[in-house]
Structure 1
Amino acid sequence: MLNRLRGAMTRIFTPVADALLRLGVSPDAVTITGTVVVVVAALWAFPTGHLLAGTLVITVFVLTDSLDGVMARRAGRSGPWGAFLDSTLDRFGDAAIFGGLVLWFFGDGDDRLTATLALACLILGSVVPYARARAEGLGMTASGGIAERADRLLLVLTATAFVGFGLPVVVLTVVLALLALASAITVVQRMAMVRRQARALVAADGTTGPAAPDARPGGAEGTVA
């Protein structure tokens, strides 16, 4: 959903990106700063019950996820390092947001169902990008699905802000339940994509798929994934 707004976001952020580049700020610095602020805000504001304030701060700095990309393109510095850094630090931000909610609702928030659903979103939200990365490491693709990162963040931050504003916690509980379900479906969708591609490779060349040492039991990544 939000990915379709990238063109509009680029137009909005282009003047800001140009101004930061003139000041000598690098895209990497924006990526790192945004992640640090999101992590600190999520792990301080949410566990202490400041749901609305935390959401507002996080939302502002989550937008740097688009800003750094615009800066890199304007500076002609787009490349694999920036993509790797951005994707890796995204995992920290996502984990902190859902982890902060887990801490609050298992603690003073006193709602074990909501805490459990937030934990489920945290776990499944890490599997979704891993499935894509693992597929790409094997020479296949596994993108898309009904619960991409931007959509998950939009929904959880909106619901958290509403609860912080005074709405009943059940609003967030329902949203987290739907997000956990959507994330699980997305994982299955991506697994199905890879299975179809793997079968096509077998049919095309009669092998068992791309030759990758870590794809076998006991391989390099098989021990840590």
Structure 2
Amino acid sequence: MLNRLRGAMTRLFTPVADALLRLGVSPDAVTITGTLVVVVTALWAFPTGHLLAGTLVITVFVLTDSLDGVMARRAGRSGPWGAFLDSTLDRFGDAAIFGGLVLWFFGAGDDRLTATLALACLILGSIVPYARARAEGLGMTASGGIAERADRLLLVLTATALVGFGLPLAVLTVVLALLAVASAITVVQRMAKVYAQARALAVPSAPADGASGHGADA
């Protein structure tokens, strides 16, 4: 869903990226700063019940998540290190968001069902990118699925903001349940994709020039 907006986000952030580069700010500094703000906000605001305020701050930095990439491209610094750093720090931000909700609803929020669903989203949400990374480490691909990172964040932050604004808690509970199911389906989709590729690699090639494949005469 949000990945389709990447081109528009790039055009939007290009002037900001150019301004930061002129000030001497590096793409890595933007990546690290954004992650720190998301983690600190999620682990302070959500466990203390500041759902709306926390969501608003986090959303600003989640929406600017592609800013560091735009800066790297504008500066000619795109490379594997930046991609690795961005992907790794994204896991911290995601875990903090769902972890903050778990702490609130297991604590003062007092809703074990919602807390359990948030925990399920945290766990499954960490498996989704792991499946892709492991596949790519084996020379295969496992991208895609019905619940990619941007979609998961959009839904959970929207639902959290609505509950913080005064809507019934059931809104967030239902969204977390749907996200947990969608994340599980995404894991299965990626596993199926890798399984198909592994099966294709395991099929022996057809023998050439009429050879039997069981050993040719010397």
| TM-score, length basis structure 1 | 0.89
Q: Return the offset for 1:220.
A: 38
Contact 1:30–1:64 (8 Å) recurs in 2 = no
The Cα offsets for residues 131-160 of structure 1, whole Å up to 9 and x where unpaired, read as 000000000000000000000000000000
Contact 1:156–1:176 (8 Å) recurs in 2 = yes
Runs of 4+ in structure 1 off by over 4 angstroms are 204-209
SS state of the match for residue 129, structure 1? helix
Distance in structure 2 (CA, Å) of the matches to 1:220 and 1:93: 59
The Cα offsets for residues 57-93 of structure 1, whole Å up to 9 and x where unpaired, read as 0001112311001000000000000000000000000
Summarize the Cα distance change of 1:18–1:50 in structure 2 as closer, same or farther, 3 Å threshold.
Answer: same
Contact 1:38–1:93 (8 Å) recurs in 2 = yes
Summarize the Cα distance change of 1:206–1:84 in structure 2 as closer, same or farther, 3 Å threshold.
Answer: farther
Summarize the Cα distance change of 1:207–1:183 in structure 2 as closer, same or farther, 3 Å threshold.
Answer: farther
Please provide the CA RMSD for this pair: 6.0
SS state of the match for residue 145, structure 2? coil
Q: Return the offset for 1:25.
A: 0.2
SS state of the match for residue 78, structure 1? coil
Contact 1:9–1:66 (8 Å) recurs in 2 = yes
Summarize the Cα distance change of 1:22–1:173 in structure 2 as closer, same or farther, 3 Å threshold.
Answer: same
Summarize the Cα distance change of 1:113–1:205 in structure 2 as closer, same or farther, 3 Å threshold.
Answer: farther
The Cα offsets for residues 158-191 of structure 1, whole Å up to 9 and x where unpaired, read as 0000000000100000000000000000000000
Q: Return the offset for 1:9.
A: 0.2
Q: Return the offset for 1:206.
A: 17
Summarize the Cα distance change of 1:189–1:18 in structure 2 as closer, same or farther, 3 Å threshold.
Answer: same
Contact 1:117–1:180 (8 Å) recurs in 2 = yes
Distance in structure 2 (CA, Å) of the matches to 1:181 and 1:123: 12
Identity %: 93
Matched with 1:74 is 74
Q: Return the offset for 1:22.
A: 0.2
Summarize the Cα distance change of 1:137–1:41 in structure 2 as closer, same or farther, 3 Å threshold.
Answer: same
SS state of the match for residue 109, structure 1? coil
Distance in structure 1 (CA, Å) of the matches to 2:25 and 2:65: 15
The Cα offsets for residues 182-217 of structure 1, whole Å up to 9 and x where unpaired, read as 00000000000000000000xx999999xxxxxxxx
Summarize the Cα distance change of 1:18–1:166 in structure 2 as closer, same or farther, 3 Å threshold.
Answer: same
Summarize the Cα distance change of 1:129–1:206 in structure 2 as closer, same or farther, 3 Å threshold.
Answer: farther
Distance in structure 1 (CA, Å) of the matches to 2:65 and 2:116: 28
Summarize the Cα distance change of 1:177–1:139 in structure 2 as closer, same or farther, 3 Å threshold.
Answer: same
Summarize the Cα distance change of 1:11–1:158 in structure 2 as closer, same or farther, 3 Å threshold.
Answer: same
Summarize the Cα distance change of 1:199–1:17 in structure 2 as closer, same or farther, 3 Å threshold.
Answer: same
Distance in structure 1 (CA, Å) of the matches to 2:38 and 2:155: 16
Give 1:70-219 correspondences, 5 Å limit.
70-201=70-201
Contact 1:143–1:190 (8 Å) recurs in 2 = yes
| Runs (5+) with no aligned partner, structure 1 | 210-218
Bigger CA radius of gyration: 2
SS state of the match for residue 66, structure 2? helix
The Cα offsets for residues 99-123 of structure 1, whole Å up to 9 and x where unpaired, read as 0000000000000000000000000
| Runs (5+) with no aligned partner, structure 2 | 202-207
| TM-score, length basis structure 2 | 0.92
Matched residue count: 211
Matched with 1:220 is 216
Contact 1:51–1:160 (8 Å) recurs in 2 = yes
SS state of the match for residue 144, structure 2? coil
